[in-house]
A = this chain, B = another copy of it.
Amino acid sequence: MHTIGMAVMSADGCLTRHAEAGTGFASEADQRLFRETLGRCDCVVMGGAAFRAARARIVERLDEARLRVVLTRRPEDHRDDARPGRLEFRADAPAAVLRDLAVRGFQRCAVVGGARTLTDALGHGLLDELWLTVEPVLFGTGARLVDGAVEFPLDLQGVERLGADTVLLRYRPARRPRR
């Protein structure tokens, strides 16, 4: 399974505008990239906070072509939303969920946050790519991409202007030894 981590951030690395949930600051260009990329994936993994921020839209647009897996400590709280093969809630560690999706035969997975999910996936070497959209704004405070003090080296695969002021940095987690 080919797995792509995706996030949108301010130019100073804030994934949220201060303490606001969601990514309301994302440009049209980033939202288009996000939709198109998800459209080419057969599964999507997200944290509970990301799900709650976008729940109405996600539940309304469930699609047989794509499984959504939401990582949450309390899957039982979401029993009414769950649709096997389309929207599943799991309490397992992110790495275990990704390995299970590969075993089930999924081919292309997007991991769209949050920090705990991305950190666990990166730490277990389970991301093939990391795509970071950089929006033209500074927030100073906000959620971080990864949890805790880590050192994950990356290889730069590409740099693209997505829109007039928006940049996409495409990385691959590096196999080189950590410094």
Contact = CB atoms under 8 A, between A and B. Distances in A.
Determine the main DSSP class of A at the interface with B: loop
B138 A169 contact: no
A140 B136 contact: no
Contact of A159 (B10, B152, B153, B161): B161
A156 B166 contact: yes
Contacts of A132: 11
Interface in A17-39: 17-18, 25
B161 A137 contact: no
B165 A155 contact: yes
Most chain B CB within 10 A, of A11, A141, A159, is at A11
21 contacts: A11-B130, A12-B146, A13-B13, A13-B14, A122-B138, A136-B153, A136-B154, A136-B171, A136-B174, A137-B154, A138-B151, A139-B150, A139-B151, A140-B144, A140-B147, A140-B149, A140-B150, A141-B149, A156-B164, A156-B165, A167-B169
Top 3 nearest A-B pairs (CB, nearest first) are A13-B13, A12-B145, A156-B165
Interface of A: 9-14, 17-18, 25, 119, 122, 130, 132, 134, 136-141, 144-156, 159, 161, 164-167, 169, 171, 174, 179
